Homo-oligomer: A and B are copies of this chain.
Amino acid sequence: MTTHSTMNKDTLLWMYSTMVTIRRFEEQSRREADAGKLRGMHSSIGQEAVPTGISAHLRDNDFVLGTHRSHHHCIAKGVDINEMMAELLGKATGTNSGKGGTMHIADINKGMLGANGVVGSNIPVATGVGLSAKVRGTDQVSVVFFGDGASSQGVLHESMNLASIWKLPVLFVCENNRYAESTPFEFTVAGGSISNRAAGYDIPGVSVDGQSVLEMFEVGGEAVARARRGDGPTLIEAQTYRYHGHFGADDPLGYRSEEEQEYYMDRDCIKQLTAHIIENGFAGEDDLQSLDEKALAAIAEAVRFADESPFPDDADLMTDVYNTYA
């Protein structure tokens, strides 16, 4: 992955491609799930801009840590979608050799240190990754994504405190998609703001429109630069929205209104970026159309790759428990 840290045409088109690839990947994953080829997944559709705007500033050897809902984090960080699709289908060629699945996709060569199915659990891990960079004297950066629901896990607070006193190069990025399962975030987050909590830990707390990849890019750029400079962590609260149900089967209208959905979907991140690109003449509709087609072709290829890949061998059940056995 090349870093796209200045906002030029290349960067805009990279962001566009990335977000479209994520969306098509998620749409396809849903179809695969509906066909019974995997047993459920947390779709990131609607939230594409958040990791895309931040990952534009990251290098392969910077680290990202994710959540149960992490396909977009992985793709934005450059993980191969063939291997991702194979992982979803439990194939031996998957990123995790089929052992991890949708909630645990990782690719250390791309700096994706893993999705994680336990809410909040990756936050201290990311802090440790930042510590490692600092102790080893590199300028690597560690980014952890987590949800609005995860903000209620104590370990976030422990980790913000630790990262602050040790000035670690960590971005704590909350994707506030307004719901944890069916629970609206105002119902469980005292004070109604997650970014406000940063002040208590003496670190910057920023609230940003997570539907605007341009804003994400800007805020992410500042936080990454601050971390690289050795000035410590930042807490970013990205206001975003998940379009689908929590896991797949659930109907979000059970707990939220159509008007609310429309409000966010009208401000869709891909729509907004498309308009920005066209209006400012960075590219034409045809150019974007061809990027769309490329994305679709790549997804089709990923499905083909995954389908044709073998399942793990039975013997793989007992490998990788340890590096060394007695």
Give the residues in chain B near A203, CB-CB below 8 Å.
Answer: 190
Q: Mark A144-176, 1 if CB is under 8 A from B, else 0.
A: 000000001111111011001100000000000
8 Å CB contact of A190 from B156, B164, B188, B196: B164
Cβ of A202 under 8 Å from chain B: yes
Chain A positions 183 through 199: 1 when the CB is less than 8 Å from some CB of chain B, otherwise 0: 00001111111001111
A200 within 8 A of B: yes
Q: Which of chain B's residues have a CB closer than 8 A to the CB of A164?
A: 190-191
| A interface residues, how many (CB within 8 angstroms) | 26
Chain B residues, CB < 8 A from A187: 165
| Any B CB within 8 A of the CB of A243 | no
Cα distance A158–B149 when bound, in Å? 12
Closest to A203 in B: B190
* Contact mask for chain A residues 269-304; partner B; CB cutoff 8 A; 1 contact, 0 none: 000000000000000000000000000000000000
Q: Please indicate the chain B residues that have their CB under 8 angstroms from the CB of A197 in the complex.
A: 200-201
Q: Which of A191-217 contact B (CB under 8 A)?
A: 191-193, 196-203
Minimum Cβ distance to chain B for residue A264 (Å): 24
Q: Is the CB of A158 within 8 A of B165?
A: no
- Give me 16 other A-B pairs in contact (C-beta within 8 A), A161-B190, A190-B201, A192-B202 excluded: A152-B158, A152-B161, A153-B154, A153-B158, A154-B158, A156-B157, A161-B189, A165-B187, A165-B189, A165-B190, A191-B199, A191-B200, A191-B202, A196-B199, A196-B200, A198-B200
Shortest Cβ-Cβ A-B pairs, 7 listed: A154-B154, A164-B190, A191-B202, A197-B200, A157-B157, A190-B201, A154-B158
- 15 A-B interface contacts by CB (under 8 A): A152-B161, A153-B154, A154-B157, A157-B157, A160-B190, A161-B189, A161-B190, A164-B190, A165-B187, A190-B200, A192-B202, A193-B200, A196-B199, A196-B200, A199-B200
